[in-house]
Structure 1
Amino acid sequence: MSEAKTTIDAGDGRGFAAYVSRPGKPNGHAVIVLQEIFGVTDAIRGVADRYAAEGYLALAPDLYWRIEPGVELSHSKADIERAFQYLERFDEEAGLADIGRVAAHIRAMPGFRGRVAVVGLCLGGKLAFRCAARLEVDAAAVFYGVGVEDHLDEAAALRCPVVLHYGDQDRYASAEAQARIEAALPPAAGGGFHRYPGVGHGFYTRGDLEAAALAHERTTAFLRTALGAGNR
């Protein structure tokens, strides 16, 4: 597995960075890892590396680049406050367009003939859900997406299989919100809705290790089904 950065064409003469984790044994497919509100941090790069270890070409784009390139925040009180300030300034429509450009960048890479999935956490989880309805992606994994319940009008428009993971103690995604999301999913969503007892927000990167391992196992099984196994 190797690590690097690449520049994605923003379509207006500018470009934005994406962390790239290349698999040692490629399976022919790619995963776009969508950041939390803290930016492309070590945790997000670690998620990309985890999927690269599974054989996926993994890219984690800097979705805050229009506000400030290279944002990486901690979980200190001051940085959490800053993270919410960045979130308030984040242009979601522009972010979705940027994710679409990352997918196009991957598909234009020499020799790439596979499929492209999105895996999103927190803010990225909501974006992954919206990508599944709005963009040409082949699968979407949502980890504790905050605000998905505000976009349930897009549930009927899902273009690809979706899997969702939430802890039942998530302070940012209430039990009511989770119930609404689960009820809105069409049968064709494919991946299902998984709820983890006693688990809070952020568990995939900084919480319950058992729940994180189970969610990862479920997600990789989902991706193998949705994208197909082996080189294409």
Structure 2
Amino acid sequence: METNSQWVDIETSEGKFGAYLSLPRGGKGPGLVLLQEIFGVNQHIRNVADQYAADGYVVIAPDLFWRQGERIELGYDGDDWQRAVALMQATDFAKAQQDIADTIKVLRTHVGDSKIASIGYCFGGRLSFHTAANGYVDAAVAYYGGGIQNALERAPEIKVPVLMHFGAADSHIPLDAVKSIAEAFDSNEQVEIHVYEGAEHGFNCNHRGSYNQRAAAEARGNSLVFLSEQL
């Protein structure tokens, strides 16, 4: 299915920033706010946006590093890795959440009364979790969301369906952390957690050495089923 993609402006009280918008061929559908890794709205994130747009979703990926530089795109090794970590550490988390809220307002103009979900990867996975806790979306997907285990005091605030994906071989998110997350949501039937054997951090990204085709395919299938049920 063909998609139509472009960069659009998101207005905020501090100025404006860009977001990558990808529309399905029909131009309409449920909404997805796609939350980036620490490497910016790079080619991989834009590919993911187009992939979900091809599945019939209206997808928007906000440039959450805009205060530090417009449309920063980084690779996954060496100096790019170091810069990505520095960008994440310098990001004001509260402002990033407000940027997501402002992005969702723009997404709403494209989807009308249709439901909206967030989907995020790594840094964006943690943001997706908080987006759900903030009540900004109707459902949320979080891929290897580092730091979720340190924010479980927000677990009671999760009132919408949430799907989380983790890799069993993730060196950044130990299985003990995943276990603590699962225990925090043990009584919440709306929260679904999948752990993929042999999968490392970033297993969904086919631009990275840690890409795991089987885990990526299974997680995407689980995500599509989840989104079709919730949106």
TM-score by structure 1 length?
A: 0.93
1:3-34 per-position Cα deviation (integer Å, ceiling 9, x unaligned): 1110011134x111000111014562110110
1:151 and 2:155 matched: no
How far 1:191 sits from its partner (Å)? 4.5
- One-letter amino acid of the structure 2 residue matched with residue 216 of structure 1: R
How far 1:151 sits from its partner (Å)? 0.6
Correspondence for 1:200: 200
Correspondence for 2:228: 224
Q: 1:163 to 1:40 in 2, by over 3 A?
A: same
How far 1:175 sits from its partner (Å)? 1.1
Q: Which runs of 5+ in 1 are unaligned?
A: 228-232
Matches within 5 A, 1:81-92: 81-92=82-93
1:144-198 per-position Cα deviation (integer Å, ceiling 9, x unaligned): 0011111101111002110000000101111111111111125435251000001
Distance in 1, Cα, partners of 2:11 & 2:173? 34
Distance in 1, Cα, partners of 2:98 & 2:227? 23
Correspondence for 1:213: 217
Distance in 1, Cα, partners of 2:21 & 2:49? 8
Matches within 5 A, 1:22-41: 22-25=23-26, 28-41=29-42
Q: Which runs of 5+ in 2 are unaligned?
A: none
* SS at 2:10 equivalent: strand
User: Which of 1, 4, 24 is the matching residue for 1:2?
Assistant: 4
TM-score by structure 2 length?
A: 0.93
RMSD: 1.3
Is residue 28–residue 113 contact of structure 1 (8 Å, CA) maintained in 2? no
* SS at 1:218 equivalent: helix
Is residue 5–residue 22 contact of structure 2 (8 Å, CA) maintained in 1? yes
Correspondence for 1:19: 20
Correspondence for 1:133: 133
Paired residues, number? 225
* SS at 2:188 equivalent: helix
